[in-house]
Amino acid sequence: MEKPSFVYVTYIASTQEKVWRALIDTEVTHQYWLDPLSSKPAHINVSDWEPGSEWRHQRVDDEGTIDIIGKVVESIPPRRLVLSWARPNEVEEESKHSRVTFDIEPYGNGLVRLVVTHEDLDHQMHAGISKGWPMILSNLKTFLESGRALSEQISVT
């Protein structure tokens, strides 16, 4: 049986370089990557972003809890980033890994087209990211265009 995928496309008044930095720089990421359960800026993405390197999706709290872990599959700054994606308790089971691709393309004068494709999802992960990605990517767009994240009152229903 084929595993579900999720694709989200957004257009951002920014540059490829700024979108790229927002995806990989912890100083930027924590300003817009909201934890849907707490509605607070709560995650950073940590890696050296070289192909084959580990990356971690980590909470910005006292514990530094790692919610997602994976490998950098492909890194072509500032155009394309491909990551494997797994829950920490499933990191040893490659059949349970999904894959996220960020394609960052220039689109007209002063616009960037960001396409996020999340593939090979189990049904539980698909349900979660179908709510999470739109919120995160809307917040990213707002942050890059205005310098401010969306209200911390965002909730996933």
Instruction: Decide if 154 is inside a domain.
Output: no
Domain presence at residue 68: yes
The answer to whether position 13 is within a domain reads yes
User: Per residue of the chain (157 residues), what is the pLDDT tens digit?
Assistant: 688 899 999 999 999 999 999 999 999 998 888 754 555 557 899 999 999 999 999 988 888 889 999 999 999 999 999 999 999 999 888 888 999 999 999 998 999 999 999 999 998 999 999 988 998 999 999 999 998 877 544 455 5
Q: What secondary structure, in 3-state letters, does the chain show?
A: CCCCCEEEEEEECCCHHHHHHHHHCHHHHCCCCECCCCCCECEEEECCCCCCCEEEEEECCCCCCEEEEEEEEEEECCCEEEEEEECHHHCCCHHHCEEEEEEEEECCCCCEEEEEEEECCCHHHHHHHHHHHHHHHHHHHHHHHHCCCCCCCCCCC
Residue 27 forms part of a structural domain: yes
Does the residue 50 lie in any domain?
yes
The pLDDT of residue 35 is 54
Q: Is residue 87 part of a domain?
A: yes
What is the structure's pLDDT at 94?
86
Q: What is the pLDDT of residue 31?
A: 86
155 located within any domain: no
CATH number of domain containing 49: 3.30.530.20
pTM of the model: 0.90
Residue 94 inside a domain? The answer is: yes
The domain tally of the chain equals 1
Full domain range(s) for residue 45? 6-146
Give me the pLDDT at residue 87, please: 93
